[in-house]
Amino acid sequence: MENISKTKIKFNLKRKTNPEVSETLALALKNKNWLQIAKIISSSRRKYSKVNLLDIEKQTTTGDTVIVVGKVLGQGDVSKKIRVCALGFSKSALEKLKKTKSEVVSISEEIKKNSKAEGLKLIV
């Protein structure tokens, strides 16, 4: 990850037009534990991840909390109950995650709930 200052992140925050992304970036910027996520969110949308459920299935175990800075796509299946936090979800991914009773939350909700950023897996 390239080294970006907090001042540069604040400058990029002003340029974000999506209110959900702006709120998430502002919350992440206030908490030093979430600074790595803030750096990714402050970059261009082209650098956001697009992660399939198949990749999440391979990299997680039951009960994990997964952070995807980008969108979760529906290719593949999840057989475990996990907590997935992302900026966006495709319709098919939401349906498949609800079938396994996995928890689906936005990154901003996770920042509010878990301010220390403990027990998270970042999938890029």
pLDDT at 2 over 80: no
Q: What is the pTM of this model?
A: 0.89
Quote the CA–CA distance of 28 and 107 in Å, as a whole number: 9
pLDDT band at 4 (very low <50, low <70, confident <90, very high): confident
Count the Cβ atoms, other than its own, within 10 Å of residue 46: 5
Q: What is the mean pLDDT of residues 72-90?
A: 95
% residues pLDDT > 70 (the chain): 98
Examine the pLDDT at 38 and tell me if it is beyond 60: yes
Domain boundaries, the chain: 6-123
Q: What is the mean pLDDT of the chain?
A: 93
Higher pLDDT, residue 74 or 124: 74
Of all residues in the chain, what percent are helix, strand and coil, respectively (each to 5)? 50, 25, 30
Q: What is the CATH number of domain 6-123?
A: 3.100.10.10
> Which range is least confidently modeled, 12-16, 50-54, 81-85?
12-16
The pLDDT of residue 1: 53
Q: In sequence order, which ranges of 1-124 are alpha helices (DSSP H)?
A: 6-15, 19-30, 35-42, 53-59, 91-99, 107-113
Question: Which tens digits make up the pLDDT trace of 101-116?
Answer: 999 999 999 999 999 9
Name the 3-class secondary structure at 88: strand
Whether residue 55 contacts residue 74, with contact meaning beta carbons closer than 8 Å, is answered with no
